[in-house]
Structure 1
């Protein structure tokens, strides 16, 4: 049964967004108590259990003030995608609205928020309790997954026996050209190999994907080009993961990935239900915000941040590193601000941490965390503007800016203002406040970021006209071009002799 995503026009879906440290938790609790609403977490790190301090979760006492959803639902090793969030969040939103309750979606992960505001994303799921990652081949996204360990072992084995691979490939070609091949699944474009066009069936393509470790990047890219030349033109051959993903979309749906994305473009800028979404954007003057974030890190230290990181490191990261696997701070909860910044300190023994050198390293780690937090907050603010107020192809829901700079005026400028905005929506009465200014750069509508470009001088493939234009003016390109111009006269002279 497909999930209904229609949101009532009588009860608003209220989004509270803003950079870290702007007061989202405080406002959400106030509004939840005022309207008997329920809070849906939209922070990609707070979905995981543990690290309550460094991820700035609502405290146990705060959670008692209102029901919270999608908080502490995953173990650290689990992978959670934006599709997983969207499917769960939309179901919760529907259930709350059916009960006459306002859903408050609160968080700083803008992609999560976009997924419930707009009709975006390709994947659909009916089992809302399962994780997309567990049901797909996306295990290749994560280098340490069992899938990739198995692939790497097979890749090593096949690298040591090239003759066996060639024989296997030859056998595949003979199988593909059988008279009884499934013609209904024949790929009309064919597969070009060494200048020869082979005919490949859907069944055979599935087999090839199952043993993709026997093919190099160019061969995998050629298979995508055979079924979906448009998508192949967007992806660099070295982007193996996305190339394989595009092939799998075709195998699963029978539709070209490029066509699905094109269809998605027609709807991704549309609101799920126009007129039923209200966005409250908490903003803080930058200098004040930076000072507040620095104090926030200091408070985390006082509350036990270092012990929390050390305990978590010992449980989930220490053995991995001792086994010779490099730390990866780009996946799951390990992306949390703090791990990467404190890595060198966490690797010290207790004796080393207590030494003068260890204490200096701790101070440096704290400074790095403060700097990283400030940078992250600026990126969040920039993304809100870029993804909502400046997006060239999206409907813009009403977005109200709430100034949290002066905390002594919080009740007047934030709480009362937010309550009035929601009340006016629910009662259909005029709102005393204007929405944020929308600024669309018309030039952005003209940018084609997916074109395939090949530089014959440098023998490089580049995706995107802007990237290609920058490359043509780059020092590297000019240097290679100059060298080739110097070589050509020399070759001509050799030919005359």
Structure 2
């Protein structure tokens, strides 16, 4: 186990591992944390929910390699959780890990979580709130569906409309609420947040594939493994719960099974839909992360073995003088 030192004393060092789903980032984060005496802080907006294990590809106890993991598996699916709440919780975890002489290792594919945390974004739950408007938007969603909210949002915030899924009703409502009450879009708030100094000194590693088809093959195999591991039973449990269905319908791997449970489509069609939507999600993740010039990319399929991928990550860490022995 190696130690580390902060290159910029006034900032907390954070090693971040990002990339698309099924790229191996959770494994790499756990192995690097074990090697350098760190703890993992998750940056995944769906893995925060209890019981949504198979469909979100949540790390198993064995996959953690004995390394403590934070910001994962702590919230009931019936509850909501905002980006601002994530930033506060993850920030507190990072400070605690660092105070105990450990290295914070951020791992996840939710780009908004990663950016708002590492770029020092200060999001506030106060302001831009209108309970009456919020309730009216909820009723509109019930009557007309998330697509109607998405179309309304598109009229004044095209970038957020492209980023938010129509099934993510709480996020759509919040984006509209912010604009209607403040006159400023969620996108504008995020852009302005970059002017705030970051409290962290981050080294970002990104996993990708030179051949996108190989990533998609991994995704297809993972979906099949999920089905074999009990995804149907897990999804049915959440989709049949009135309190938890709204959250499940936001997550890939659950909402695609709803038509199957309603006897509207055969199982294979539902599973293929999961594969397709997961591939699309991976493409969106790559598009998001590719915008960040600070990420050091590692093309997984250019290496003969996982040990070589790990070695490449360690070489980058050494070359950047992020850690010292």
1:340 aligns with 2:255: yes
1:367 aligns with 2:278: no
Question: Equivalent residue of 2:27, what SS?
Answer: helix
Q: Aligned-residue CA RMSD in angstroms?
A: 3.8
**Matched residues in 1 for 2:199 and 2:254: separation?**
39
1:422 aligns with 2:317: yes
In terms of fraction of residues, the more helix-rich structure is 1
Closer, same or farther: CA 364–419 of 1 in aligned 2, 3 Å: same
Extract unaligned runs of 5+ from structure 2: 1-7, 144-154, 159-171
| Residue 28 of structure 2: aligned partner | 27
Query: Post-superposition shift, 1:342?
Result: 1.2
Asked whether the 8 Å contact 1:10–1:426 carries over to 2, the reply is: no
1:217-296 matches, cutoff 5 A: 245=178, 258=184, 265=191, 267-269=193-195, 272-273=198-199, 276-284=201-209, 285-296=211-222
Closer, same or farther: CA 259–70 of 1 in aligned 2, 3 Å: closer
Asked whether the 8 Å contact 1:32–1:66 carries over to 2, the reply is: yes
| Residue 99 of structure 2: aligned partner | 98
1:28-67 matches, cutoff 5 A: 28-63=29-64, 65-67=66-68
**Matched residues in 2 for 1:248 and 1:113: separation?**
26
| Residue 313 of structure 1: aligned partner | 239
Closer, same or farther: CA 368–423 of 1 in aligned 2, 3 Å: same
| Residue 198 of structure 1: aligned partner | none
**Matched residues in 2 for 1:301 and 1:114: separation?**
32
**Matched residues in 1 for 2:314 and 2:196: separation?**
27
Count of residue pairs the alignment pairs up: 291
Query: Post-superposition shift, 1:242?
Result: 5.7
State the TM-score, normalized to the length of structure 2.
0.76
| Residue 114 of structure 2: aligned partner | 113
| Residue 401 of structure 1: aligned partner | 297
Extract unaligned runs of 5+ from structure 1: 1-6, 126-131, 153-232, 250-256, 321-326, 349-357, 390-397, 430-497
Question: Equivalent residue of 2:113, what SS?
Answer: helix
Query: Post-superposition shift, 1:410?
Result: 1.8
Question: Equivalent residue of 2:59, what SS?
Answer: coil
Question: Higher relative contact order at CA 8 Å, sep ≥6: structure 1 or structure 2?
Answer: 2
Q: Provide, for residues 12-36 of structure 1, a one-character-per-residue CA deviation record: whole Å limited to 9, x for no partner.
A: 2011100000001110111121112
Q: Provide, for residues 167-209 of structure 1, a one-character-per-residue CA deviation record: whole Å limited to 9, x for no partner.
A: xxxxxxxxxxxxxxxxxxxxxxxxxxxxxxxxxxxxxxxxxxx
Q: Decide which of 280, 285, 290 is 1:380's aligned counterpart.
A: 285
Asked whether the 8 Å contact 1:11–1:100 carries over to 2, the reply is: no
| Residue 486 of structure 1: aligned partner | none
Asked whether the 8 Å contact 1:15–1:278 carries over to 2, the reply is: yes
Please identify the structure whose Cα radius of gyration is greater. 1
Query: Post-superposition shift, 1:339?
Result: 2.2
Query: Post-superposition shift, 1:77?
Result: 1.2
